[in-house]
């Protein structure tokens, strides 16, 4: 059995292209021979003890321990601290989580809602029964402990028995993907970026243990932390699966050696999150060109026999250099390295689906990489896992249990108000010609709004999926296998049909919002519009500051450094006049430089090159709401600005802070301070003037829209 690694390609691509309101990753030169052994990858230079209270131009108040009781606050010095100090001091990071604050409160409460839904749930439909049965299989520790690691051992033994490259090719190419342990070959069905009405077969890059290819040439402190956590988990799992400690170490070394050879051919996290990355991945190949490009790799047979896709005339390879390197390494000499790569990744991937001991080891690794502590209670952890694995059955049950039409109507009205306001924002953009403005407004008017939950559930049925319940003698391993078979079937079926742009890509219980450029649509998810982010009792000022700013943020993604590469129909196309595009890029560069000049603590940089889309959207979202505020009588700006700051009140563990540094979103405290200082409405309301830390001169402002 194999986890759904290939089937997520479409969603992974979309998440690379879009900007989300909330955070919950081609080398041109030839691949060099490694100059160090795999274990030397872990060598990281020692540095003096870091002082995390040295952030510029503001302290990173999100990091646990930075804010103290005796720390003075001044509205003109650090607005985020001025508003959120008490909340930060009174926030405890919940056990099992890596941060706390307003967004985490929403996520935590959502997990409580999901938990209550399962603990007290009744199966009144086929899909609801699927979700409840899967949840109960997760909770069935008696069976899970009795079975232990045996199903995984059988899958690993099959890989161990492979004794030649031909046998490996047969395994990867002909064994159904649901029955494979793990594969370096990753692919799926996704939208054609140029013609988003059609689906296409896309080839992605291999997974890496350290997640970011840059770590293999320059291991960071956070990379070393991840390496230690994952190799510790792998070692424990492999020993439990019957290997000696020395054999386990050798397999992990082989895995890292293989990944070290692969890494230079895979774009780093920073490279793949730059807006320019989008244009580099649309590499089309005819069937003949594709066969030539893949060389000896059993990729074509894997697509057609193992996965079940038909012969095609058009393929996309995201990173051709990676396929070239995979093919170069696909030799008898590297057979052991490739097998051990598969075994190590398989051992890690399935740990949380086995017995209690493996599950707790998996949780230890999660804690080490995120900074969380303890372990979630089973009901919370497994209701959340069920919601992830069976998203749409859970999403419908969640909608019927918690979401209200009147909230959908209110938020829809705010979206309409924001869309109308964007006409003014675009028309006021003095760097655009009338021709580009007209096309921008045409795109604006074509944006589709998707609010809280779908109106029609017919497209989201899981009627063809069946799993055995605990009472019927079912096991979690068997259920996951059936789900993978069903997922593969759905993925293949997508290829035969036109792209259904009206179909939602994520279910309503996700605490997030986003823009999808290939359908030119914004999503305000049901679970996001709850609790401290939105509720029906909030004042208009609070709603505009929180849900409204997010709505404006998502609309802006249609016109940011990534979304602007797609037209009103969701196709990757240049709809800009050349001089306008150049002016836009110059503004983006100024925005990038602005964030590059900031530091969460001394010696630690941000990556402004990946943050322009999200930062632009934050600023445009606030601008949109400020324009709406001018139309409201007696609008309370103090409530508005403080409510906006509150949504980003955060307390992070240090590993979580490192994750944010590598994220396309600015850190939460920057989403407050750096955003608000762009606007005279904010500066004038609080009397902020030149010389104050919150002041930014008009010529230095970087708000693109």
Beta-bridge partners for 285: 315
Quote the tokens at residue 417: 């108000």
For residues 492 and 200, give the distance between their C-alpha atoms in angstroms, rounded to a whole number.
11
For residues 245 and 242, give the distance between their C-alpha atoms in angstroms, rounded to a whole number.
9
Question: Contact, 387 vs 432, CB < 8 A?
Answer: no
Residue corresponding to tokens 């519009």: 529
The pLDDT of 643-651, averaged and rounded, is 98
Report the mean per-residue pLDDT for the chain: 93
pLDDT above 70 (res 47): no
Q: Which of the pair, 29 or 637, is modelled with greater confidence?
A: 637
Q: 513-516 and 315-317 as β-strands: parallel, antiparallel, unpaired?
A: unpaired
CATH, domain range 51-90+405-451+508-705:
3.40.390.10
- Residue-wise pLDDT for 384-430, tens only, equals 999 999 999 999 999 999 999 999 999 999 999 999 999 999 999 99
For residues 650 and 683, give the distance between their C-alpha atoms in angstroms, rounded to a whole number.
23
Q: How far is CA 133 from the centre of its chain?
A: 28
Would you call the peptide bond into 57 cis, given omega within 30 degrees of 0 as the criterion?
Answer: yes
Three-state DSSP class for 56? strand
Beta-bridge partners for 604: 601
Question: Contact, 462 vs 486, CB < 8 A?
Answer: yes
For residues 134 and 118, give the distance between their C-alpha atoms in angstroms, rounded to a whole number.
10
Question: Contact, 293 vs 174, CB < 8 A?
Answer: no
- Residue-wise pLDDT for 310-331, tens only, equals 999 999 999 999 999 999 999 9
The pLDDT of 144-164, averaged and rounded, is 98
Percent of the chain, pLDDT > 90? 91
- Residue-wise pLDDT for 130-139, tens only, equals 999 999 999 9
The pLDDT of 1-21, averaged and rounded, is 47
The pLDDT of 612-627, averaged and rounded, is 97
Read off the pLDDT band of 24 (50, 70, 90). very low
For residues 226 and 228, give the distance between their C-alpha atoms in angstroms, rounded to a whole number.
5
Start-end of CATH 1.10.1380.10 domains in the chain: 9-28+149-353
Q: Which of the pair, 537 or 16, is modelled with greater confidence?
A: 537
What pLDDT sits at residue 290?
Answer: 98
The pLDDT of 294-308, averaged and rounded, is 98
- 9-28+149-353 belongs to CATH 3.30.70.3040: no
- Residue-wise pLDDT for 256-279, tens only, equals 999 999 999 999 999 999 999 999
What pLDDT sits at residue 581?
Answer: 96
What pLDDT sits at residue 31?
Answer: 28
Q: Half-sphere exposure (CA, 13 Å, Cβ side) for 141?
A: 8
Which of these, 554, 502, 528, 503, lies nearest to 407 by C-alpha position? Answer: 528
What pLDDT sits at residue 529?
Answer: 86
- Residue-wise pLDDT for 439-481, tens only, equals 999 999 999 999 999 999 999 999 999 999 999 999 999 999 9
72 CB burial (10 A radius; 0-12, 13-18, 19+): exposed
Q: Half-sphere exposure (CA, 13 Å, Cβ side) for 50?
A: 15
Quote the tokens at residue 43: 């060598």
């Amino acid at each position: 059995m194999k986890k759904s690694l290939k089937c997520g390609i479409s969603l992974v691509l979309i998440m690379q292209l879009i900007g989300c309101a909330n955070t919950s990753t081609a080398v041109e030169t030839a691949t060099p021979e490694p100059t160090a052994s795999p274990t030397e990858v872990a060598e990281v230079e020692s540095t003096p003890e870091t002082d995390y209270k040295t952030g510029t131009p503001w302290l990173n108040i999100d990091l646990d321990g930075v804010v103290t009781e005796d720390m003075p606050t001044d509205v003109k010095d650090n607005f985020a601290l001025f508003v959120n100090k008490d909340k930060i001091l009174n926030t405890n990071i919940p056990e099992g989580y890596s941060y706390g604050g307003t967004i985490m409160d929403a996520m935590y409460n959502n997990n409580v809602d999901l938990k209550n839904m399962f603990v007290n749930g009744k199966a009144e439909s086929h899909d609801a029964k699927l979700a409840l049965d899967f949840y109960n299989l997760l909770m069935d520790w008696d069976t899970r402990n009795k079975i232990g690691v045996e199903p995984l051992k059988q899958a690993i033994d099959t890989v161990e028995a492979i004794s030649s490259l031909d046998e490996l090719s047969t395994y990867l190419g002909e064994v159904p993907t649901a029955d494979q342990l793990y594969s370096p070959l990753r692919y799926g069905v996704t939208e054609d970026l140029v013609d988003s009405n059609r689906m296409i077969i896309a080839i992605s890059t291999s997974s890496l243990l350290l997640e970011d290819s840059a770590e293999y040439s320059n291991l960071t402190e956070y990379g070393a932390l991840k390496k230690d956590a994952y190799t510790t988990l792998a070692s424990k799992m492999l020993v439990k699966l019957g290997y000696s400690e020395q054999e386990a170490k050798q397999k992990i070394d082989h895995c890292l050696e293989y990944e070290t050879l692969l890494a230079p051919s895979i774009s780093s996290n920073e490279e793949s999150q730059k807006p320019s990355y989008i244009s580099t991945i649309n590499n089309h190949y005819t069937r003949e060109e594709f066969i030539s490009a893949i060389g000896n790799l059993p990729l074509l047979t894997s697509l057609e026999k193992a996965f079940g896709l038909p012969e095609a005339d058009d393929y996309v390879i995201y990173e051709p250099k990676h396929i070239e390197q995979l093919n170069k390494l696909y030799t008898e000499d590297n057979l052991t390295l490739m097998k051990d790569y598969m075994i190590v990744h398989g051992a890690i991937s399935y740990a949380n689906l086995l017995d209690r001991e493996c599950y707790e080891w998996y949780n230890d690794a999660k804690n080490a990489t995120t900074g969380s502590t303890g372990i979630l209670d089973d009901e919370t952890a497994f209701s959340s896992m069920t919601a992830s694995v069976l998203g749409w059955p859970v999403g419908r049950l969640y909608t019927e249990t918690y979401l209200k039409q009147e909230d959908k109507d209110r938020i829809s009205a705010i979206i309409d108000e924001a869309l109308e306001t964007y006409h003014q924002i675009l028309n006021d953009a003095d760097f655009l010609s009338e021709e580009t403005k007209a096309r921008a407004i045409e795109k604006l008017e074509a944006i589709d709004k998707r609010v809280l939950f779908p109106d029609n559930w017919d497209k989201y049925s899981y009627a063809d999926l069946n799993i055995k319940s605990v009472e019927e003698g079912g096991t979690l391993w068997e259920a996951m296998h059936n789900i993978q078979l069903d997922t593969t079937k759905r993925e293949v079926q997508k290829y035969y049909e036109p792209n259904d742009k009206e179909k939602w890509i994520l279910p309503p219980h996700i605490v997030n919002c986003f823009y999808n450029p290939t359908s030119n649509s914004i999503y305000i998810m049901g679970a996001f519009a709850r609790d401290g982010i939105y509720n029906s009792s909030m004042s208009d000022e609070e709603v505009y500051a929180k849900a409204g700013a997010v709505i404006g943020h998502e609309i802006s993604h249609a016109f940011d450094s990534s979304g602007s590469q797609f037209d009103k129909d969701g196709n990757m196309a240049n709809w800009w006049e050349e001089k306008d595009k150049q002016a836009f890029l110059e503004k983006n560069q100024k925005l990038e430089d602005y964030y590059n000049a900031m530091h969460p603590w001394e010696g630690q940089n941000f990556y402004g090159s990946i943050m322009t889309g999200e930062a632009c959207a934050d600023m445009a979202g606030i601008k949109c709401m400020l324009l709406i505020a001018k139309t409201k009588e007696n609008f309370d700006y103090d409530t508005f600005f403080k409510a906006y700051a509150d949504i980003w009140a955060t307390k992070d563990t240090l590993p979580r802070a490192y994750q944010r540094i590598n994220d396309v979103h600015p850190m939460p405290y920057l989403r407050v301070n750096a955003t608000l200082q762009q606007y005279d409405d904010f500066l004038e309301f609080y009397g902020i003037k030149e010389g104050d830390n919150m002041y930014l001169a008009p010529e230095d402002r970087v708000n693109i829209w």
